[in-house]
Amino acid sequence: MAQQLSAKGAEFIKQFEGLRLTAYNDGTGVMTIGYGHTGDVNAGQTISQAQADSYFAGDVKWAVDTVNSSVKGELQQNQFDALVSFTFNVGEGAFKSSTLLKKLNSGDYKSVQSEMGRWIYAGEKKGAFAKFVRWAHLGSGKEVSPVLKARREREGKLFKSGTYS
């Protein structure tokens, strides 16, 4: 039977996404509103809290469906919620092709927290040393994002111990 995102899980994700009731440019030219809703958003548009919640419920559905269709074993509610949060952030393709999912589906639940901790990079490092690192294949050449690092730590903790705060 397919699992659903719990109310606590939805609030957990919303904390990371943040709420904006007035449309804004997300920095990449995409108009965004609510908890990261895009698509049918216009500059200057405003919405209510109820509309933001409705958008979120529709927006998170693909992540719920992805986790339900990809994970082979049984999940406790906290584990499911943590994986939906992770998937909502990294995307369907990244989740489905991840080592995290492969290990989870092989029964290795203990490595999920550490695998989540690998998804903390965003943006390119700058400067001569960063160019050398990429040239020499010594690392990803990407910057650690403090925001992603904190999110992964909380998702990992939620998966492992059921702590939503």
Question: Could you say which DSSP state residue 46 is in?
Answer: B
3-class SS at 41?
A: coil
Of 17, 74, 92, 153, the catalytic one is: 17
- Mark whether 17 is an active-site residue: yes
| Cβ atoms 158, 85 nearer than 8 A | yes
At 26, the amino acid letter reads: D
At 107, the amino acid letter reads: G
For residue 107, what are its two tokens?
């029964």
CA–CA gap between residue 17 and residue 35 (Å, rounded):
5
The residues annotated as belonging to the active site are 17
